[in-house]
Amino acid sequence: MKISELKNNFIAQILHRAGIVLIIAGILACISPFIYNAYLRHQAANAARQLRKKMETQVETPTPKTPHQTISPQPLPENLIPDTGVLVIPAIELEVVVNYGIDEEELKKGPGFYPQSGYPDHGNVCIAAHRGVHGAPFLHIDKLEEGDEIYLYYRGKKYTYTFQESFITSSTDWSVIDPTPEPMLTLTTCPLTNYRNRRVIVRSKLTGIAYLTSVSSQPALNLPPR
């Protein structure tokens, strides 16, 4: 075999191997964001489970009462109190901590409550989250169907919501976080395409409230269908 042929064979082998390396690198570049998001979702789920268990096992100490003294129930606030919660959506295997606020730094950590949210017992609770980055907690939010339940753990109570509808609206449509005639949960996120000027909205109605702390003797409240 001539030297020129050996050189050509050697170059061909190098190019072939380089091509394989480039293909593998391209595949890894394509799937690495999905792997990273899956890792972040796993970490977020662990943190949410720990917080939820803490909420479920926390025991409050009752305030001592003198004989014949009664304590009037405190009125519920109109708006959401700045605090963390836990959002659980079994249908899409989501369990995640919800922080307070929807600025970019907060949404990097996970879903966030809109500061304009109403109190869960009687208002429109609004939560925003990313769909393609930072763990993509709302990646599968469009897969919810009629009858799917969503649970919100917040300040000693477990709120049960039942999926009602989903739709796409303009990113400038702030009416979705306005007060609603009945207690609702509104989830907002970006569509996977054309996300700059559109938003995916998921609406669910409140169908039950259960107390988490053992001090309360209040039974679970099942709200009538609306």
What would the two tokens of residue 143 be?
Answer: 């897969």
pLDDT for residue 216? 42
pLDDT attached to residue 58: 57
- Amino acid 215: pLDDT: 39
Q: What is the pLDDT of residue 78?
A: 78
Question: For the segment 102-120, what is each residue's pLDDT rounded down to a tens digit?
Answer: 999 889 889 999 999 999 9
Is residue 5 helix, strand or coil? helix
d(CA 80, CA 98): 13
Q: Is the domain 1-57+79-226 a CATH 2.40.260.10 member? A: yes
The secondary structure of 25-61 as a DSSP string is HHHHHHHHHHHHHHHHHHHHHHHHHHHHHHHHH--PP
Domain range list for the chain: 1-57+79-226
What pLDDT was estimated at residue 194?
72
Query: Could you say which residues of the chain have pLDDT below 50?
Result: 28, 59-73, 214-221, 224-226
How high is the pLDDT of residue 77? Answer: 78
